[in-house]
Each structure stands twice: as structure tokens, then as C-alpha cells.
Structure 1
Amino acid sequence: MKPRFLWLAPWLALACASCSDSAGTKDNTGDAGPGGTPDAGHDWSVFSSGTELRVAVPESGRAYVRLDPPAVVQVPGDPKASSDWDIALEQYDVYTNSGASGSAHGSAFGPIDAPSYSAATLPQVPLLFTDKAGGAFVKWYAYDGDAHVLYSRYHVAGIQDGARRWKVQVLGYYGERDGAPVSALYKIRYAELFADHVGDTVEASTLDGTAGGPAADPSKPSECIDLGTGTRTMLTPAAASASNAWHLCFRRDAIGGNGGLGGPRGVTSIDFDDAAIAGEALAQVRVRNADSEKARFDAINWASFEGKTLRGDRVISAFGETWADRNARTPAYAAWVATSAGGEKKYFIGFTSFENATAASPGTVALRIKPFKE
């Protein structure tokens, strides 16, 4: 089976209550319900293989899971320093033991279409992501798994730094250097916003996110930009995390903001088009261009920020916010690839139900885990 990637992108103190083949689900009325069928329009039997694990997710704190054999585990000491867990669930977030979340070599990729879970062999995935700080730009692109190409969604991000506001749109990821095509050479347009008018639109090209190559060696710098002055600075991740000299940094496929976990400047951001992601097919995204999406950019002004929640960068994993519909309190009909903390073993993961979900927690999560046969 050839997997189809559903990039809506490109993020367990407790016991396994049971490991049976049945799984109740949350009724979507009230704070919590006794059970039901999640999204009955889909064939959930694609998740019938592998091992079911049921994980009670607390309303505060994390629950830790080992993938082989599937089990909820207690992690003594500092979980960030431990390799005894592979993934962790905290409220409506799922993390891997990697990067910003842990000290091990875990990673993940997804979502991919749910029937891919039934495949007998490992599907071809372009890369496995470690957890990292991210914000409004975490879903800036759609990924074409056949051509291995990133397409900008042309969403408009709002950036706030104190009393100042900007709008930013990613126009491209591919550039040219010495006559050869190069990835991670960004082009963006942005404009400062004022209460009574919009400033001039500025285009910045060849923003260097190459970071020395696909491995993104942490000793290699990438380019960051101050939207107020247009100043561009090459910084390593360590230097960027301590610097106030930038608003946005570009590093391979990631665009970070200088706030929260991203840096000390206090920058917050929002993707004004985030709600559209669930309905954006790759075919729709692929035909967009800078001209066709200029009206989207022009529509954002100072008032667009009012009533919106902007956040600093936080820990983002490949599971992101796409693994669950927080409003409906149901799991997504999709699958993920995840690796063990050691990075050497790969698994399919599918989430099949939530029981007694609340606004703060999905309650007891039923998930299916299946190792790859390579």
C-alpha cells in the first residue's frame, strides 16, 4: 500500500486499564460521556491489528508510555533525563522523547492516512521529527509525499512584540545558489500594522535556513530577521535562544518566534488561517502562489488581532494538534509513525477512542501500537 500523507503541516502516572479489542468512546455532549462511536463515517477497523493500550491522561501532569512492549510506565527522577519512555500524553498534547521534550532519540511523523496503519511494511516517510519549540508557523506548509516538495499554505501569521504588530506570509521555501536549486532559502512578505493604517509591504528573499544541510547541525547558524528594522542575523540555535535581536528565525522547515521557548523577547504569534487546515487538500495548496494569495495578506489589519489569543513558542511534536479534535473530544482518523527512545525501532500508532473526556483532558485514550516489519 502506498501511503498518502495528510500533513496538517508540516504535534501516560497511570495504568493500562485493559488491553482488549473493544474501546469505548466519548459522547460529545457535556463535560464527559460514557462512550459512543468516533466519527462513524470512517472505517475504524483499520486499527484492528497490533496491541491496544488504554491510557488514563490526567488533567495535570503527564502519562508516559513505552511502545515495546506497549505499557504505561512510571518514570522515576527527571523524565527529561530518562530513556525509559517513548511518548508522553499531557492533556491534549502528545510528545516524543526527543529534543525539547526529552534527552533520548525519539521522533515521529504524521499524520498519514489511517488505512496505512494496516500496511505490512514501513511506508516511505520524508523525515522523522524531533520535538521542538514552535508557534504560529508550525503548519506553514503542506507536504507532497510523492514529489518530496513543501508547498506554502500562504497562511497569514500575526506577530506581536509589545505594542507593535506585523503580518507575515511565507512566499517560498526554495531558492537558488550558484545556479543550483537549494531548499530552505525562504522568501516572505510582511508589513507593520497600525491602528489607523497598514505600513508598506516588505519582501525579504533568500532568508538562509539551510543550517549547513538537512541534518541541521546545531553548531551551524541560520538566519533570523528583525521585522522592525529589517536587520538579518545568522545565529546558532543556542545564540538565538539568548538574543533579543530578532523576531523570526528560519531553520530548515521550521520558523521560530522569539518568545516563550523560542527566545527572550516576548514575541507572540497566531496563524489567522489555522481553522482552515483541516479542510485544505494538497491539491488546493499546490496551486496557490504569491499573486493569488495577496488578497489574503491584504485582508489582515490591526483589528484582526482583537479577541484573538496569541502565544509564544511552545513544545511542538509531529502529533501537534492534529491527533485530536479538542472541541469534539474525539481522536483523528489518522496514523503516525513513531520511534523508540533509542531511535532504532519504528512503530505505527493510531488513536481509536477517548473515554470521559473533558475540556482539559481526553480522559482514557485507547491507542493501537504496531511495530514495523522492515
Structure 2
Amino acid sequence: MRARTRSTIHQLTVPRLAIAMVTCMACSDGSSAKPGKGDAGGDPDPFATGTELRFDVPERGRVFVRLNAPGVVNVAGDPRASGEWDLAFEGFEVFTNSGPSGAGKGGAFGPLEAASYNENPPPAIPRITADTTGGAFLRWYAYDGEAHKLYSRFHVLGIQDGARRWKVQVQTYYGERQGAPISALYRIRAAELFADRAGNAVEIADLDGTAGDASADPSTPSECLDLGTGARTMLTPAAARTSPAWHLCFRRDAISVNGELGGPRGVGAIDFDGAKTAGETLQQVMTRTEAGEKARFDAITYASFESKNPRGDRIVSAFGDTWLDPASATRTPAPGAWVVSSASGAQKYFLGFTGFEHATAKSPGTVVVRIKPFKG
């Protein structure tokens, strides 16, 4: 299993749903899926069960979808206040009814291997990820679904605050407290960059992103860092969004940037190795070490920022661009399965995207997806 995300900015607009065509074909409820991965000996199509839903995504505007009795929902008023929808599609972006996208308790996890759609019992899901704000750091790690462990990609991230620039490399997500291992206790490598020289690299340890452990209680603060002064401040997400006292905030597996929706400071960030992400395998990432990746860190200079466009945080979901197949010459859905929570939080669903019809450069056209309850 693996889960990756990527940021995207959008506007909350209500589409003219008269242009959305929906055909819902009831198939089985998935109860015929055989135990084990891939439904060995059965239909080779991993998404042969469940309900098929077909709906049009226009090049402008947003389409809202419910997963119980799958169909398109015509949302009246502000969609952020509505619990009628579970997923929203805008161009090639997918959002859940959660976080800054909606007032619901939705979210998603994935992509899983396509065969997971037919596993019985279903695979363990570490947690459903609600929509949030994020940017360049969203894909700083690769996820090992079997060991439930995060591995740093050791990408070099550039941070720009006015004329000042830094480079940052995440070393590890794991630390120790009282001799016991603990997750979300970061260690990073950082250095300020100057036009005529590079500053000294420093390691900053025990950056506290534990944030109430797996519950991620929004009232629990996590640690935020000012790269210029070294000041470390514990802030809740709400407080961080109004505070100019930090460059980076650490909260569970998320690293926020104090710019755009992340905060008021106007900080921008860029992943200098971001173009390599789609081609990186978990096995490749697992072999990387702090010592082995120092040359990558050293290679970034002040001039590396030229012609780049560092950005702050924007609204993102678990889908990011990983629901799209990076190996395809044309836009097609990736061959993976997703677990999505309803807006009420009471039911989870398996989703398998099986095709786009009449896709354009701005829209997948007609999206074809299979949906069935996640019985676990």
C-alpha cells in the first residue's frame, strides 16, 4: 500500500449541474469478492464488483458526488456547509467533504494496490486523511503500507522569505522519548543560502509534530520553526494560520509553509526534486541515507531558485495527482484503489476509477468509477 498527495489551489464554485450526466448501473454489492489479494482465479478485472457511476466533469465548475446510492448532488448554497456530498471533482482535482473543503467528516486514503479492492477481510487502513492545506512538502515521504512506516525521500526543499533563502532536507520522522521510539518527532538538515556563499548546514532535532498522537486533536499544538532565528513555537493549526512567527510547522506527517493559506508571512517553498517523485519506488527510497543524500543537499545554491516559483500552502486532498496514471501518455486514472469516508464519517467506501471518456487538457470528461462499501 502507499499513500501520496500533492497540492492544488482552487475556488469554491457551484457548477451548473445541468451539464453533468449521470448513469448509475447497479451491480453486486461486492459480497461475491473472494478472500485474498487479486481475487485469484476470478475475474481479472479488479473492479468488476460494486456499483458503476458515470458522471461528466466540465472544464469549469465543480461536480459533487455522493457515495451512498451513488450519484451527482446538486448542492444549493455554500458547498462547504453541506453534508450532502462526499467527493467533489473540479478539472483533474478531487476533494473530500472535510477540512477546508467542507464541514463534513470525510477524507480518503490511497492509492492502494488495485487488488486490495477485493481483499476479504479488507486491508488495514492507518488513517483517513482529511483535506488540509499544504504545498511543497506534501510528498516528502514514501509510505510502506506493510510496516506502516514513513521514509524520507531526502528531496531538497527550498524556502524563500522575501530576499532570504534556505534549503531543507528531512532526515527522519522518528525519534525517541525516554528511550522509547516515537513517530512525528522530526530531524531536519537546513542551511541559509547567500548570493556569494552557502551558510553552514545545521541539524535540528526533535521537532515535535506528535500533535496528540494519532488522534491529531486540532486543539493540541505542534511545533513551528523560524529558520532565521531558530525560534521554536508550539501552535495549534488555527493559531499557526494567523501567526508570522514561523517558516515551517510540523504536525503528524504534514509540514506546513507560512504562506498563502498556510499563514500570513508570505513564505514560499519548492521541492527541487519534485519532478522525480512519480518515478521513485518505495524500495529506492528505503535505501537512501543521510550521508548518501548529503551531496544532493550540497548541490542546491542561492541561484537554484532563479526561474522557480516558490509557493505557500493551498487546499489539498489525499488524491492529489496520484489518482492519475503518470505512465500514461494521455490522462487516464491510475490503476489503484481508494478508501473514502462519507461526509458523515459513518461509512467508508472502496473506489476504483476505471476510465475517462472524452478527456481534454482541462477535464477528465466522463469519469467512470466503481464504488462499494468498505466492510471493515
Structure-2-length-normalised TM-score: 0.88
Structure 1 range deviating more: 278-287 or 10-19: 10-19
> Residue 303 of structure 1: CA displacement?
2.5
Match of 2:339 in 1: 337
SS at 1:137's partner residue? helix
Matched to 2:195, the amino acid is: A
SS at 1:59's partner residue? coil
> Residue 8 of structure 1: CA displacement?
3.5
Is the 1:8–1:278 contact (alpha carbons within 8 Å) kept by the matching residues of 2? no
**1:249 matched to 2:245:** no
SS at 1:214's partner residue? helix
Q: 1:314 to 1:293 in 2, by over 3 A?
A: same
Matched to 2:145, the amino acid is: G
Match of 2:63 in 1: 63
From 4, 7, 11, give the equivalent of 2:3.
7
Structure 1 residues without counterparts, runs of 5 or longer? 22-42
Match of 2:371 in 1: 369
**1:18 matched to 2:23:** yes
Rounded to whole Å, the distance in 1 between the matches of 2:200 and 2:148 is 35
Question: Map of 1:32-47 to 2, 5 A cutoff?
Answer: 45-47=45-47
Match of 1:236 in 2: 236
Match of 1:304 in 2: 304
> Residue 119 of structure 1: CA displacement?
2.6
Question: Map of 1:157-196 to 2, 5 A cutoff?
Answer: 157-196=157-196
Is the 2:22–2:72 contact (alpha carbons within 8 Å) kept by the matching residues of 1? no
> Residue 306 of structure 1: CA displacement?
2.4
Rounded to whole Å, the distance in 2 between the matches of 1:283 and 1:229 is 37
Structure 1 range deviating more: 133-142 or 194-203: 194-203
Match of 2:330 in 1: 328
Rounded to whole Å, the distance in 1 between the matches of 2:2 and 2:176 is 28
SS at 2:343's partner residue? coil
Question: Map of 1:185-224 to 2, 5 A cutoff?
Answer: 185-224=185-224
Rounded to whole Å, the distance in 1 between the matches of 2:72 and 2:87 is 10
Match of 2:93 in 1: 93
Match of 1:112 in 2: 112
> Residue 10 of structure 1: CA displacement?
9.5
SS at 2:339's partner residue? strand
Structure-1-length-normalised TM-score: 0.88
Structure 1 range deviating more: 324-333 or 239-248: 324-333
Is the 1:10–1:143 contact (alpha carbons within 8 Å) kept by the matching residues of 2? no
Structure 2 residues without counterparts, runs of 5 or longer? 8-14, 27-42
Match of 1:72 in 2: 72
Rounded to whole Å, the distance in 1 between the matches of 2:204 and 2:296 is 18
Rounded to whole Å, the distance in 1 between the matches of 2:339 and 2:195 is 46
Matched to 2:307, the amino acid is: G
> Residue 192 of structure 1: CA displacement?
1.5
Rounded to whole Å, the distance in 1 between the matches of 2:308 and 2:61 is 27
From 348, 355, 358, give the equivalent of 1:356.
358
Matched to 1:6, the amino acid is: R
> Residue 18 of structure 1: CA displacement?
2.8
Is the 1:337–1:347 contact (alpha carbons within 8 Å) kept by the matching residues of 2? yes
Q: 1:151 to 1:339 in 2, by over 3 A?
A: same
**1:51 matched to 2:56:** no
> Residue 325 of structure 1: CA displacement?
4.5
Is the 2:108–2:319 contact (alpha carbons within 8 Å) kept by the matching residues of 1? yes
Match of 1:82 in 2: 82
Percent of aligned pairs sharing the same letter:
63
Question: Map of 1:119-134 to 2, 5 A cutoff?
Answer: 119-134=119-134
> Residue 370 of structure 1: CA displacement?
1.5
> Residue 13 of structure 1: CA displacement?
4.0
> Residue 239 of structure 1: CA displacement?
1.1
Rounded to whole Å, the distance in 2 between the matches of 1:44 and 1:315 is 36
Rounded to whole Å, the distance in 2 between the matches of 1:62 and 1:362 is 12
Q: What per-residue deviation string (whole Å, max 9, x for no partner) do you get for residues 142-161 of structure 1?
A: 11222221111111111111
SS at 1:46's partner residue? coil
> Residue 92 of structure 1: CA displacement?
1.6
Is the 1:10–1:142 contact (alpha carbons within 8 Å) kept by the matching residues of 2? no
> Residue 302 of structure 1: CA displacement?
2.1
Matched to 1:94, the amino acid is: V
SS at 1:343's partner residue? coil
Q: 1:106 to 1:8 in 2, by over 3 A?
A: closer
SS at 2:172's partner residue? strand
Rounded to whole Å, the distance in 2 between the matches of 1:49 and 1:305 is 49
Rounded to whole Å, the distance in 1 between the matches of 2:74 and 2:189 is 48
Rounded to whole Å, the distance in 1 between the matches of 2:214 and 2:2 is 22
Match of 1:25 in 2: none
Is the 1:9–1:143 contact (alpha carbons within 8 Å) kept by the matching residues of 2? no
> Residue 202 of structure 1: CA displacement?
1.6
Is the 1:211–1:217 contact (alpha carbons within 8 Å) kept by the matching residues of 2? yes
Q: CA RMSD in A?
A: 2.0
Q: How many residues align?
A: 349
